[in-house]
Amino acid sequence: MYNETVMDHFMNPRNVGEMTDPDGVGEVGNPVCGDIMKIFLRIRDGRVEDATFMTFGCGAAIASSSMATELIRGKTLEEAWEITNTAVAGALQGLPPQKLHCSVLAEEGIHAAINDYRKKQRLEPWAETARAAHEEEAGGDAE
Amino acid sequence: MKKLVYMDHAATTPVKSEVLDAMLPYFSEQFGNPSSLYALARVSKEAVENARAQVASAIGASPDEIFFTAGGSESDNWAIKGTAFANRKKGDHIITSAIEHHAVLHTCAYLETQGFSVTYLPVDRYGLVSPKDVEEAITDRTILVTVMAANNEIGTVQPIREIGRITRERGVPFHTDAVQAIGAVQIDVTEDAIDMLSLSGHKFYGPKGIGALYVRKGIRLGNLVHGGGQERRRRAGTENIPGIVGLGKAIEMATADIPGHTAKIAAMRDRLCAGILDAVPDTLLNGHPTLRLPNNINVSFRYIEGESILLMLDAHGICASTGSACSSASLEPSHVLLAVGLPHETAHGSLRLTLGDLNADGDVDYVLDVLPKVVERLRSMSPLYAARKGGV
């Protein structure tokens, strides 16, 4: 049911593990739904120096976490914020339709972790405003 | 060749070579239509009647009470809809359980849209239906009680004989879905006071796409499939002769020595189950400790999700199944696991292993080697497991 890229990121997930003293942590999902994703960030000079994850969930949830952390490493916080669910699913060469919510969870996890960092820095959290515009843009890229 | 350990016998089984051999002549050589008059057709007719006798004898019925269908789902649909529509003037109430197969539950839900009312009896934490609940649910409007003989997910074997006696006494027809029970549990439709029984060939080493419905003489049952006069005008359609022959041979073999055959499977199952519970902490056995199918293991590994377990087991060549929402198209966790009272997160971490003729002792050792490592690996990624360790 999954393609080779998804299976690779599931069987050999990148960046798994809890981070000690992270600068930002985001936890999203719900055990009732069967997915919980926790993203840890280390931030240096406005860039994601390191990103790791811990995930309870299906193959797609673990693969999406792995790919999402790969995509944001080395990016500025602004760039990381722009990584959408479509970008995560696209980088995984596609997910089955009923599993797209796993990539949405990854986007939400990144946003939660970035805003956790911003709150700790006493900065205003970023709002999820321009979401639709992002999706359009990333959707175009993924095609 | 890649190692393959098949532990999903409740999903389906391979056709036994003796069964296949019995079927083969009926594809290209003895291909006659039993409804025709010439000698060639008589061979097909005799093959069908021989298989009917084999099925009847396996469950203590008489051959003219056996009707061939396309499988368990058709048999369930026929028994339930056929009874409901034939007894509409008598009543409109059906009693079933919360843990039936979807072929029963969705048929009941359909009948609710047609003006019938359905009582879904709850089960206890082991998945048992209480005969007393059945008795108390019967009203003067009740036209059918349908309770499965054994559950396909957690393997709980229901007290169908007690339910049968109650329904017989109250004059309400009793149907049982015995798709998982044939060959695993001794069933005698007379002793058990069963009025209708569904069975399916591919669950006991017969072919797919063939099943049967037992209908006790005198039971009012409308037709589901209308058309020609086959099956004594009860079920239209040219007979699936190879399938019927295969079903007959398979059920004869599956019920020839139930205690001997199941003892062997249960011994492997018990060793595997004890080994898993011993090796993996935070694991719960789902279903009844003793009143369960001899081949069934259903466990929940806390803090992890079932689809990931299946994918990792598959990478090691192990075939199993789960009640997790993430593996279902509906994204709903198993209704059976929820009905026995599991919280959603525990239902998500369920794994079903069902053993059978394809397994040997070496398979038990192999799964006991691989499975604990898979669970450990997934737990090492799980924030719930980390929180539980850190939170103690």
Every domain of chain A and the residues it spans: 4-137
Q: How far apart are CA B45 and CA A4, in angstroms?
A: 51
Q: Inspect the interface and report whether the beta carbons of A11 and B326 lie closer than 8 Å.
A: no
So what's the ipTM on this one? 0.90
In A, which residues are within 8 Å of B311 by CB distance? 2, 7, 10-11, 59
Q: Report whether B296 contacts B10 (CB < 8 A).
A: yes
Q: In DSSP terms, which residues pair with B144 in a beta bridge?
A: B94
Burial of B134 (0-12, 13-18, 19+ CB in 10 A): buried
Q: What percent of chain B has pLDDT over 70?
A: 99
φ, ψ of residue B337 to 5 degrees: the values are -65, -35
Q: Find the mean pLDDT for residues B236-265.
A: 97
Tally C-beta pairs within 8 A across A and B.
Answer: 70
Per-residue tokens: B261: 């055959």
> Which long-range contacts (C-beta less than 8 Å, at least 24 apart) are formed by B84-89?
B84/B111, B84/B114, B84/B116, B84/B143, B84/B144, B85/B222, B86/B220, B86/B221, B86/B222, B87/B143, B87/B144, B87/B220
CA distance A115 to chain B (A): 20
Q: How far apart are CA B54 and CA B214, in angstroms?
A: 13
Confidence check: pLDDT of A132 > 70: no
A7 to chain B, any CB pair closer than 8 A? The answer is: yes
Q: Residues B143-194: pLDDT tens digits? A: 999 999 999 999 999 999 999 999 999 999 999 999 999 999 999 999 999 9
Q: How far apart are CA B385 and CA B309, in angstroms?
A: 15
| Beta-carbon contacts of residue B96 (< 8 Å; ≥ 6 apart) | B104, B105, B108, B118, B119, B120, B121, B145, B146, B147
The closest alpha carbon to A83, from A60, A99, A67, belongs to A67
Q: Inspect the interface and report whether the beta carbons of A31 and B348 lie closer than 8 Å.
A: yes
Q: What is the mean pLDDT of chain B?
A: 96
Q: Report whether B60 contacts B187 (CB < 8 A).
A: yes
The residue of B302, B305, B309, B351 whose CB has the most chain A CBs within 10 angstroms, and thus the best one to mutate to test that interface, is B305
A59 to chain B, any CB pair closer than 8 A? The answer is: yes
Indicate the class that CATH gives domain A4-137.
alpha beta
Confidence at residue B388, expressed as pLDDT on a 0 to 100 scale: 87
A24 to chain B, any CB pair closer than 8 A? The answer is: no
User: Taking the model in full, what pTM does it have?
Assistant: 0.94
A102 in active site: yes
Confidence at residue B376, expressed as pLDDT on a 0 to 100 scale: 98
| Beta-carbon contacts of residue B197 (< 8 Å; ≥ 6 apart) | B59, B149, B175, B176, B178, B187, B189, B213, B214
The closest alpha carbon to B231, from B55, B108, B101, belongs to B55
The closest alpha carbon to B320, from B262, B382, B272, B261, belongs to B272
Q: How far apart are CA B116 and CA B86, in angstroms?
A: 13
The residue of A32, A56, A62, A101 whose CB has the most chain B CBs within 10 angstroms, and thus the best one to mutate to test that interface, is A56
| Residue in A27, A31, A38 closest to B345 by CB | A31
